[in-house]
Amino acid sequence: MARLVYTAITSLDGYVNDRDGKFDWSAPDEQVHQAVNDLEREVGTYLLGRRMYEIMSFWQAQPTDDPDEPIMSDYAGIWQAAEKVVYSTTLGAVDTPRTRLEREFDVDAVRALVAGAERTVGIGGATLAGQALRAGLVDELHLLHSPVVVGGGTRALPDDLRLDLELVSERRFDNGVVHVHYRVVR
């Protein structure tokens, strides 16, 4: 059985963007980007909220063989190869290959999708991940804490959630980012 894994780049105070919706402070350097690529390489299907899909669809047009940008090309290949399910009540249509649009987050359907998957299922977007976390669907979390405090915005983890976690690993990067990998204790 596959795992449902939530990965997010956050501020030290736990936000994925600031009060203005900006996340330029979270742009990974090459070392962090390579680590993210290595994490995401296991993903066969992404579950995405509308905003995360709109941000990530950038990768569909990126070359997968640019010798001047090997890390970016690597991630573009990872993104393009994966299946994508976008959950949105407002998005008119999806415009990337291997992508389908769902109007509601159906817990039982997601549970069945993960149970039947051969590869890791990744979930992206704090709001959508919050729904999956509350429903007890998420198996692991990868949080990459950036060395910045933004004081508000969209929280990476919902306020009304109690979750017991087991620390699997941690890694510090040269730019001050700290990656913590947790397994959900059931």
Count of other CB atoms within 10 angstroms of residue 117: 17
Predicted confidence (pLDDT) per residue in 70-87, tens digit: 999 999 999 999 999 999
> How large is the average pLDDT for residues 149-156?
98
- Domains of the chain, earliest start first: 4-184 (3.40.430.10)
Mutual orientation of helices 70-81 and 30-40 as an angle, nearest 10°? 20
The Cα–Cα gap between 144 and 16 comes to 10
Note the pLDDT of residue 28.
96
| % of residues, the chain, pLDDT over 90 | 99
Note the pLDDT of residue 81.
98
The Cα–Cα gap between 175 and 26 comes to 11
Whether residue 135 is predicted with pLDDT greater than 90 in this model: the reply is: yes
Instruction: Kindly report the backbone phi and psi dihedral angles of residue 111, in degrees, each rounded to the nearest multiple of 5, phi listed first.
Output: -60, -45
Note the pLDDT of residue 4.
98
Alpha helices in 41-171 (DSSP H): 50-56, 70-81, 107-116, 126-134
> How large is the average pLDDT for residues 144-168?
97
> How large is the average pLDDT for residues 21-43?
97
Q: β-strand 178-184 against 165-172: which pairing, if any? A: antiparallel
| % of residues, the chain, pLDDT over 70 | 100
Enter the pTM of the model: 0.96
Whether residue 33 is predicted with pLDDT greater than 90 in this model: the reply is: yes
What average pLDDT is seen over the chain? 97
Instruction: Kindly report the backbone phi and psi dihedral angles of residue 170, in degrees, each rounded to the nearest multiple of 5, phi listed first.
Output: -145, 155
Whether residue 1 is predicted with pLDDT greater than 80 in this model: the reply is: no
The Cα–Cα gap between 173 and 184 comes to 24
Q: Which residues pair with 11 in a beta bridge?
A: 146
